[in-house]
Amino acid sequence: MNKFEKFQSAIRFKHANKIAINISPANAFRSRCEFAYDKNNYVMHGINKKIYMKTFTDASLEIQNIMPILLNEINNNNEIKEKLFQINFRSNQLNKLMITMIYHKKIDESLIALLNQISKNLDINIIVRSKNFVHGIRGLYLEDMLAYKNLKIFQTDNTFTQSNKYLVDKMISKVINFIDNQRDLLELYCGIGTFTLPLSFKFNKILATESNRKSIKCLEKSLQENKISNVHNARLSSNEVSELFDGRIFNRMNMKNINDYDFSHILLDPPRSGLTDDVISLASNFENIIYVSCNSETYVRDIKLLESFEIDKIELFDQFPNKNHLEIVSLLKKVK
């Protein structure tokens, strides 16, 4: 039984119909990759072993192509390779690259000058990090473009983004198509605004919440660049949002009153651990739940707890081909 059949079987108690699957190409799909650096190679950790490599076929072509070139630059300069611990890559739909080099040593001007020259020669942005230090050769943001209305979106080297370059726009389109009879939206775990920005054109108003400071800054930058004015964001954890509805006052709401909203939908895109009991309780008060999940097991668990809802629409997205992971996009409606 493959992972699609396994999920279909696990969710049959709530949704018996066949579920559509959105397939990704088997390689060159990852726009975000992280590697250790050791013995003049990139390193990934397998089961009880290290995997040494010069490039990585799952990575986008831009990342694949630059990996051996950058590795050669690193290995040919002792100052650059000394105490280099990790190398992370991010690419975007505009074929631009952001590469983070993390060191276990103090960064000096000499090293920055060397990396600045590499950045110029290879036309890449390099972020240099060490303890309590960060420096962006070309700034700290990577600008990207969403297919929906050509919206600008920004990320930093330590914010979460959807990593499959072929499926992210399809997921956004699917969420948009799932929605009807909308008024206002409450979004938890909004991240950098991957869904927030497109959905601002569907809903009257959006309250977007996220606990990560860097993600909130990226979202604010995107809202400004795209001239979007109907989204209010607040740096709140999912549990704090539950407390907000219970009457707790947060200065981070910047004087925005929760009672000013007429919510028809809540959007949940949690980490792999799924929804907490507080969020389950909060979401149960809504008419519609847009649930985007990266873990089929916690999704099934949470659906059982959301017993007053039915799965109205659902599709699968194979973000990581040949791996056990599945991304699920669904709309749950309260049973009347």
Catalytic residues: 294, 327
Q: DSSP 3-state assignment of 125?
A: strand
Beta carbons within 8 Å of 153's beta carbon, 6+ residues apart: 143, 144, 145, 146, 192, 193, 194, 197, 218, 222
Q: Report whether 292 contacts 268 (CB < 8 A).
A: yes
Alpha-carbon distance 295 to 158, whole Å? Answer: 21
C-alpha R_g of the chain = 21
Alpha-carbon distance 196 to 269, whole Å? Answer: 11
Alpha-carbon distance 167 to 173, whole Å? Answer: 10
Token readout for 231 is 């989204």
Strand order from edge to edge, sheet including 32-38 = 49-53, 41-46, 32-38, 84-91, 97-103, 125-130, 133-136
